[in-house]
Homo-oligomer: A and B are copies of this chain.
């Protein structure tokens, strides 16, 4: 099902403009005209994202985010009139994820919505499945040709990461950042060794995919 986006603004034509943009991208759009209504709708519909105007009567955007954060981590993009610099910053300080300045540029709004959703995307299943392969990062197990294989955590995380984004090449440094973490300062050969150990486990499992070396660049999980 499509993701729900809650738009909160006291000016209805702004809501409708955003609805237009968002529905074109296949989001399901909910609308609220003030902070209290917004909070109620969050409880009721649990949207994936909130677009929240700052300047509203009664309860403004800051106040709304502050209350929201007492019971929900739903990502918020603040909508601010041009020049409302102070508002923008305060909004971010108070727990918003991004901001867009009015007047809107359709492309920019959509880009930011997508970026925030991508960033906050919760990996639903924690599992990737391909021919003869199943990697589950929640249960920490690996099945190759139906057989469960004992796999050390780092190997599993590495495989999961690569398989989650098939065909995309990762440099060793990127993998160190994304699997080992930014603060890890080790040697990039480490990745080679883990790849090698994974390959031993995966050998001959399928001809539909492969842990492939991209010479001079890095590794990828290639689907054929």
- Flag if B93 contacts A169 (CB, 8 Å): no
Chain A contacts with B in 157-198, Cβ cutoff 8 A: 167-169, 173, 177, 181-183, 185
Bound complex: CA of A181 vs CA of B106, how far in Å? Answer: 10
Chain B residues in 8 Å Cβ range of A168: 138-139
A177: contacting residue among B25, B152, B181, CB under 8 A = B25
Smallest Cβ-Cβ distance to A224: which chain B residue = B148
Interface: A58 (CB within 8 A): no
- For A, the interface residue count at a CB cutoff of 8 angstroms equals 32
Interface: A216 (CB within 8 A): yes
Chain A contacts with B in 82-136, Cβ cutoff 8 A: 85-86, 88-89, 92-93, 106-107, 110
Contact sample, A vs B, 9 pairs, CB 8 Å cutoff:
A24-B185, A86-B89, A88-B89, A89-B89, A89-B92, A110-B177, A140-B220, A152-B215, A152-B216
User: Could you tell me which A residues sit within 8 Å of B by CB distance?
Assistant: 24-26, 85-86, 88-89, 92-93, 106-107, 110, 138-140, 152-154, 167-169, 173, 177, 181-183, 185, 214-217, 220
